[in-house]
Amino acid sequence: MHLNQSISNNNFAFMIYNDLTDIHSVDYDISSSSLKLSRAVKNDRSFKSSTFAGFRVYGSCNGIFLISIAHQFIRIGLWNPSTGEYKDLPESFPKYPKCPPPIFNVVFWLGYDISRDDYKVIRYPYYQSSNLSGIMSDVCVYSLRTNSCKMIQDVPYRIFGSVYPKNFCDDGIFLNGAIHWLGKHVSDVASRLSLRIVSFDLANDEFKMFQLPDVILDTNSKRLGAFEDCLCIYHVNKDNYIDLFTMKEYGVKESWTKMFSIIDQPI
């Protein structure tokens, strides 16, 4: 796939949306001070099928989209809308188990390893109940550069996504060559004070865990994000204010700094 073509033009960018069966794009000039949008244009899919029944966008990175396609079976692939190229992930990349337990689901994430100029897809099976302590997951990592898959067995983390509490996973935060989520170690899933940041280093294919500010552990409605090129997290405190903290030094708990507070009330 000619991946670099999707990010070589600094003047325009794609905005993609879908209604399960159609994809449209809107061009806009990112160098302009005013947001002038063109009319939405329907894109020709390069992954057409006579049994096509819809698709889902799991995420994007540098203009490359990770999608799943539903027809006779589930296909997972990478699509470059700027060049029209599409690539199915190989059969060796596991999609869904043949007989999943009723609380089982699978999510996929896409990231970029700058050290090897490689796009990677992470497949993570998770359990929709947050009270299942001790259950580990087998994670699969697909490398576009080598067109190969690698299994990481017995991953001891329960990943919740970028929002907590919530009973399903969503997008992670891609920063510093790693994907980050809120999560817990499987040995301590039941405790609300055990919430951490779980990261996956795309260069080394390794999971790591970072600590959060102690002051936010005993509150609800947490969301992970990025602010000024740093990991950040915000939450609603006991006085009904939204506090935002940033990790000034990557991976160092003591570097968490409170940036500001906003009153949480209807506008």
Look-up: residue for tokens 């997972």?
Answer: 76
Mean predicted confidence (pLDDT) in 136-142: 86
Q: Residue 205 domain-assigned?
A: no
Distance CA 132, CA 266 (A): 36
What would the two tokens of residue 91 be? 């059969």
Confidence of residue 5 (pLDDT cuts 50, 70, 90): very low
Buried b (16+ CB within 10 A) or exposed e, 45-57: beeeeeeeeebee
Residue 35 domain-assigned? yes
Dihedral angle sign, alpha carbons of residues 181, 187, 189, 195 = negative
The most confident of the ranges 138-152, 179-193, 209-223 is 138-152
User: Do the beta carbons of residue 116 and residue 203 sit within 8 Å?
Assistant: yes
Question: Which residue(s) pair with 179 in the sheet?
Answer: 174, 200
Residue 185 covered by a domain: no
Structural domain span for residue 3: 1-88
Is 109 within the bounds of a domain? no
78 domain-assigned: yes
In a domain? residue 99: no
Element (H, E) at 106: strand 104-113
Structure tokens at 179: 């994907």
- Gyration radius (Cα) of the chain, Å: 20
Domain count, the chain: 1
Top pLDDT among 236 and 149 is at: 149
Distance (Å, whole) CA 119 – CA 147: 10
CB 248 within 8 A of CB 233: no
Over 70: is that where the pLDDT of 6 sits?
Answer: no
Give long-range contacts, CB 8 A cutoff, 24+ apart: 110-113.
110/58, 110/59, 110/60, 110/61, 110/64, 110/65, 110/66, 110/78, 111/61, 111/174, 111/177, 111/178, 111/179, 111/200, 111/202, 112/61, 112/62, 112/174, 112/177, 112/202, 113/177, 113/202, 113/203
Tell whether omega for the bond before 165 is within 30 degrees of 0, i.e. cis.
yes
Q: Of 97, 98, 94, which is closest to residue 108 (Cα–Cα)? A: 94
pLDDT at position 81 over 60: yes
Give the confidence band of 2 by pLDDT, cuts at 50, 70, 90: very low
Answer yes or no: is pLDDT of 246 > 70. yes
Burial 129-139 (b: 16+ CB within 10 A, else e): ebeeeeeebeb
Q: In this structure, is residue 160 part of a structural domain?
A: no
Q: Is pLDDT larger for residue 167 or for residue 231?
A: 231
- Are residues 76 and 88 in contact, defined by beta-carbon separation less than 8 angstroms? yes
pLDDT of 4 > 60? The answer is no
Residue 232 structure tokens:
């950040």
| Assigned domain for 221 exists | no
Write down the pTM of the prediction: 0.80
